[in-house]
């Protein structure tokens, strides 16, 4: 990419050859990352893949061993003082004062911001608490907050001022399913308001549900990046056959080059309604047979076909195709 204004304006985070070495181990290895302005960008990888180390370099908290990083068009960490006031960040959980209430924590955070107008401080704090669903618990001491409430309070601190960029490191950690839905909804709202959101996560469904773009990390290296829809579209979906004759179906599919066959017994495995028939899934070969002919071959072999089709590839399918391994969503 060129260094002109148009390029800088279209990309809010750009790294070139970014690397960090700890005691001989490369935690981040030659990272070339591009985060488009206005995106919800998912930074995806298992715990230990280098995500937090990358974020700490982007925020100027640690210096890279090699390479460079630009945030909002400015070099980091050199331009930290001009860049960071435009960035809201929640990294490795919020640093809270346990003896203060949620509201008093935010008042203190706001007072530490030299650009914040003290005359409108209480209004800003009230709006931030309301936005993350903590208005009712604002007077409670932070040490009595659950982990999920602490995550929300940290997010409220990042939202005290309008931000061009919001950097969230595992923002739904410790949240129950309802809390996760609320945070995801909030991320969508912020993006609709024009904030670019950079969100690291080890949860594939989190990235698929809220992100427009994503990058996949593993063992310190960037495997791929781009629009979420394209990352999944580049992977062939799995063939799925619903049938009460899974064993015979698997034999026929294997004979036609289908690999990675697996059988899901279905709810009740034949004890329930017709819709509970087992499902046989598998990967089509690189040069797949005609699907209509494959279906006809199953019928000719006496297989009772209740359903037949290719399922859309998910981000998980793409990850497995890229790495050859499963994804530990439990961390």
Domains identified in the chain and CATH numbers = 5-226 (3.40.50.300), 239-312 (3.30.70)
* pLDDT computed for residue 139 by the predictor: 93
E strand or H helix at 193: none
Question: With contact defined as beta carbons under 8 Å apart, do 38 and 215 qualify?
Answer: no
Evaluate whether 35 touches 20 at the Cβ level (below 8 Å): no
Q: Is the pLDDT of residue 321 over 70?
A: no
- Residue % of the chain over a pLDDT of 90: 35
**Mean pLDDT of all residues in 293-305:** 89
Distance between CA atoms of 281 and 274, rounded to whole angstroms? 18
End-to-end CA distance of the chain: 35
What's the pLDDT score for residue 4?
Answer: 36
CA atoms within 13 A on the CB side of 43: 29
Give the separation between CA 91 and CA 154, rounded to whole angstroms.
9
Among 179, 303, 309, which residue's Cα sits nearest to residue 245? 303
Looking at the DSSP bridge assignments, the partners of residue 89 are 167
Provide mean pLDDT across the span 146-160: 88
Q: What is the tens place of the pLDDT at every residue in 157-171? A: 988 988 899 999 888
What is the distance between the alpha carbons of residues 304 and 297, in angstroms, rounded to a whole number? 11
Model confidence at 252: pLDDT above 80: yes
- Can you name the residues that pair with 201 across neighbouring β-strands? 44
């Amino acid at each position: 990419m060129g260094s002109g204004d148009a390029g800088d304006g279209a990309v809010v985070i750009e790294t070139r050859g970014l690397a960090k070495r700890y005691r001989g181990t490369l935690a981040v290895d030659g990272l070339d990352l591009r985060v488009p302005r206005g995106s919800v960008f998912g930074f995806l990888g298992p715990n230990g893949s280098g995500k937090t180390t990358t974020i700490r370099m982007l925020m100027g908290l640690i210096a890279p061993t090699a390479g460079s990083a630009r945030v909002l068009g400015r070099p980091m960490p050199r331009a930290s003082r001009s860049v960071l006031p435009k960035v809201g960040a929640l990294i490795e959980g919020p640093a809270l004062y346990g003896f203060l209430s949620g509201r008093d924590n935010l008042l203190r955070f706001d007072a530490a911001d030299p650009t914040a107008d003290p005359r409108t401080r209480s209004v800003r704090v009230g709006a931030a608490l309301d936005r993350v669903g903590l208005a009712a618990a604002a007077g409670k001491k932070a040490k009595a907050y659950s982990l999920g409430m602490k995550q929300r309070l940290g997010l409220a601190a990042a939202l005290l001022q309008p931000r061009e960029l919001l950097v969230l490191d595992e923002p739904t950690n410790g949240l129950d399913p309802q809390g996760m839905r609320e945070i995801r909804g909030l991320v969508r709202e912020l993006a609709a308001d024009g904030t670019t959101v950079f969100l690291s996560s080890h949860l594939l469904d989190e990235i698929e549900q809220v992100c427009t773009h994503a990058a996949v990390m593993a063992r310190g290296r960037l495997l791929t990046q781009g629009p979420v829809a394209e990352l999944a579209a580049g992977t062939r979906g799995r063939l799925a056959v619903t049938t009460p004759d899974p064993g015979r179906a698997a034999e026929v599919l294997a004979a036609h080059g289908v690999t990675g066959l697996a059988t899901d017994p279905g709810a009740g495995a034949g004890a329930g309604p017709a819709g509970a028939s087992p499902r046989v899934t598998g990967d089509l070969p690189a040069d797949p047979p005609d699907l209509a002919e494959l279906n006809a071959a199953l019928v000719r072999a006496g297989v009772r076909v209740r359903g037949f089709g290719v399922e859309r590839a998910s981000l998980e399918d793409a990850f497995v195709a890229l790495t050859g391994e499963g994804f530990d969503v439990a961390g």
